[in-house]
Structure 1
Amino acid sequence: MTVIPTLKTERLLLRAPTFEDWPDFWELMKSERSVYMGGPFSTVHAWGDFCQGIAQWKMFGFGSLSIEVISTNQCVGRVEINYGPRCPEPELGWQVFDFAEGKGYAFEAAIEMRRWAFEVRELQTLVSYIDPRNQRSQGLAERLGAALDETAEKQDPDDLVYRHS
């Protein structure tokens, strides 16, 4: 049985997703903010994406973790490593709910998830597939130290691929 890890940073707990995290995730996925991920999505598609992040733990030993603020116990988004038919390489991804943007949560969570992936899971590479219109995610990838890799296979033909080292 695969154990989903719990990771901790100064402000955040990265933990297994629960059904209580679903309503805010659904709000994000049906909103215009999801356009950079191919949305807005139907309930069925969003539910499939939510569950896929959990199922990948069993298949690959990595997947989605909910981002919870320790001081409030509030879930503010998720950080994940995706793989499978939609992702040519393991992908470090992040989503922060509307009410939690601009507080550095995605940056803090992505740093910890990347550290775990390289040090504990011993992955050799991680990329982030980013819609070219999503300047905030591009900026975050660059703050994380990822570099644009124009030779990498893309998830979508228009994606930018940032490689983490």
Structure 2
Amino acid sequence: MYEGIVTITTERLTLRPQSLGDFAEYEMFLASDRSAGMGGPYDRRAAWGMFCHDHACWSFYGHGALMIELKATKACIGQVGINHGPLFPEKELGWLLYEGYECKGYASEAAAGMLDWAWHTRNLKTLVSYVDPDNLQSHAVAKRIGGTVDPAAPRMDAEDIVYRHLPPAV
């Protein structure tokens, strides 16, 4: 069992553990049409289950979700994490941003920070990102952080495009 949930800092962001106070905004995102790329919208019960899954992964796998917080304002603007468990064919690097924070490089910065931690602290050998075909912004993020399309990768949903992330060559 893994006991510690980490905090990761990047130039503009603090990737920090979830708190109960983060749930309301997370739930609103999952209830909105913006969550369609991840199978939503979701009702409150499903949102709570996903929020708890994100936290439980730390105990079960030594990685999980972190909330994305702007250093300058302390505003929580979304989430980044490594998902795993029976619902995921492989360890998945995922991200979401709340409305108004897109197209500012925050998702790429957060995902790159999580990747750096995954490679250098947890010594993971590969991660994937499952991206809805219509989510052009997430396709751009996956490419920006070095992901390449892996047509042979197992999928959660048959329509997903899967980006493979590998650690930097030594």
TM over 0.5, yes or no? yes
1: CA distance, partners of 2:121 / 2:156: 25
Q: Secondary structure at the match of 1:128?
A: strand
Deviation per CA, 1:14-63, whole angstroms, max 9, x where unpaired?
11001111111111100011111110001000111011100000000000
Cα distance in 2 for residues equivalent to 1:10 and 1:134:
26
Query: What amino acid sits opposite 1:141 in the alignment?
Result: A
Aligned-partner SS, 1:100: coil
Structure 1 partner of 2:146: 145
Q: CA deviation at 1:156?
A: 1.1
Q: Distance in 2 between matches of 1:23 and 1:103?
A: 23
Q: C-alpha offsets along residues 71-118 of structure 1, whole Å, 9 cap, x if unaligned?
A: 101100000000111111110000000121122111100000001001
Residues in 1 aligned to 2:97 and 2:26: alpha-carbon distance in whole angstroms: 9
Who is 1:62 aligned against?
Answer: 63
TM-score, normalised to structure 1, is 0.97
The yes-or-no answer on 1:132 pairing with 2:133 is yes
Cα distance in 1 between the residues matched to 2:24 and 2:105? 22
Question: In structure 1, what is the equivalent of residue 156 of structure 2?
Answer: 155
- Where is the strand percentage greater, Structure 1 or Structure 2? 1
| Aligned position for 2:35 | 34
Number of residue pairs the alignment of both structures matches: 165
- Find out whether 1:98 has 2:99 as its counterpart: yes
RMSD across aligned positions (CA): 0.9
What is the percent sequence identity of the aligned residues? 45
User: Residues 102-113 of structure 1 correspond to what in structure 2 (within 5 A)?
Assistant: 102-113=103-114
Question: CA–CA distance in 2 between the matches of 1:133 and 1:160?
Answer: 10
Amino acid in structure 2 at the alignment position of 1:150:
P
Q: Structure 1 stretches of 5 or more lacking a match?
A: none
Helix, strand or coil at the partner of 1:76: strand
* Number of the residue aligned with 1:50: 51
Return structure 1 stretches of 4+ with deviation > 4 angstroms: none
Q: 2:141 & 2:120 partners in 1: Cα distance? A: 21
> Is 1:21 equivalent to 2:15 in the alignment?
no
